[in-house]
Structure 1
Amino acid sequence: MHRSIRTAVCAVAAVGLVFGLSACSEVSDAAKDKASDSVDKAVDGVDKAVNEEYEVTYEVTGKSIDSIQFAAGGGTATNPKLETVDKPALPWKKTVTLRGILPPSVLPIALDATGEAAVTCKIIYKGKPIAEESGKGLGAAGGCVAVSPIV
């Protein structure tokens, strides 16, 4: 008799386990669908950010600046297209259009043996500075790099 009760209890437990696991798989499928939707939205957001364009203005002031190198647009975020201006007239200003997560950057370089070189740079986005640096002395480099403002 005990054996038949044990068999019945095991059968009921097995049926309960089967129904419980199938319910979990239903929840799991719903959770997968929700996660998939979240991933799709994130991918859409990255795609939009990567293709969106923005404009920044580089400003450089100082004394004895030999060259200015800056991200001019084009290239990739890890390998941007850079342009160089030798012996720039100061103050120097340049507006460029960049795309996506490409970081705006400007690097003025002053190689003045007298030690009187001075460099200040700014990156302006929508009328507000998003990066500003200064440097003085021999080999002064007051480079500015900012995170893409659309990220």
Structure 2
Amino acid sequence: MNRTIRTAACALAAAGLTLGLSGCDAAVDTVDKAVNETYEVTYEVTGKSVESIEFNAGGGTATEPKLESVQKPALPWKKTVTLKGIEAPTVVPIALDPTGAEVGCKITYKGEVIKEEKDAGIAAATGCVAISPIAG
């Protein structure tokens, strides 16, 4: 009797799994499209005494983005990059000044600000990290 119940339970579970997975086809197609789609964002950095800027320049992966650095940038600094899929738009400026540093960053997608931060002090560091507009 136990063997019959187990066999029936396994058959029902397999049937349920098959029906459930067939409904996932549309979701898989949507994810595949989102992962391969590209988009542009514009990074902006403003402030005073900015020593360096690191930013996701594209070309990496979502878990290991390719970061580029700019040392002693002329301000205001602006850069448009093309990212792919769920890569997070990221820009991290660092400012140092014993009399007071200031730094601000902004990420814009299709003319809309999707992330903005500011900081001030002797050592000011802020980061703008946004969720990919493709993923959201």
TM-score by shorter chain over 0.5: yes
Letter in 2 for 1:86: Q
Q: CA RMSD in A?
A: 2.3
Q: Where do 1:108-119 residues align within 5 Å?
A: 108-114=93-99, 116-119=100-103
The structure whose Rg is larger is: 1
Q: Where do 1:64-75 residues align within 5 Å?
A: 64-75=49-60
Which residue matches 1:147? Answer: 131
The 3-state SS of whatever aligns with 1:77 is: coil
Structure 1 gap segments, 5+ residues each? 1-20
TM-score normalized with structure 1 length: 0.78
In 2: Cα distance, 1:88 partner to 1:38 partner: 51
Identity across matched positions, percent: 64
CA deviation map 1:99-151 (0-9, x unaligned)? 0100000000002122x110010000010000000000121012100000011
Structure 1 residue 46: deviation in Å?
Answer: 1.2
Structure 1 residue 37: deviation in Å?
Answer: 2.0
Query: Which has a greater percent of helix?
Result: 1
Which residue matches 1:13? Answer: none
In 2: Cα distance, 1:39 partner to 1:55 partner: 29
Structure 2 gap segments, 5+ residues each? 1-7
The 3-state SS of whatever aligns with 1:76 is: coil
The 3-state SS of whatever aligns with 1:119 is: strand
In 1: Cα distance, 2:116 partner to 2:61 partner: 23
Q: How many residues align?
A: 131
The reply on whether 1:62 has 2:50 as its aligned counterpart is no
From 19, 38, 45, give the equivalent of 1:53: 38
Letter in 2 for 1:40: D
Letter in 2 for 1:45: T
Structure 1 residue 74: deviation in Å?
Answer: 1.1
The 3-state SS of whatever aligns with 1:137 is: strand
Letter in 2 for 1:56: V
Structure 1 residue 32: deviation in Å?
Answer: 4.3
Which residue matches 1:105? Answer: 90
Runs of 4+ deviating beyond 4 Å: none
Query: Which has a greater percent of strand?
Result: 2
In 1: Cα distance, 2:17 partner to 2:83 partner: 37
After the TM superposition, which of the residue ranges 83-92 and 43-52 deviates more from structure 2? 43-52
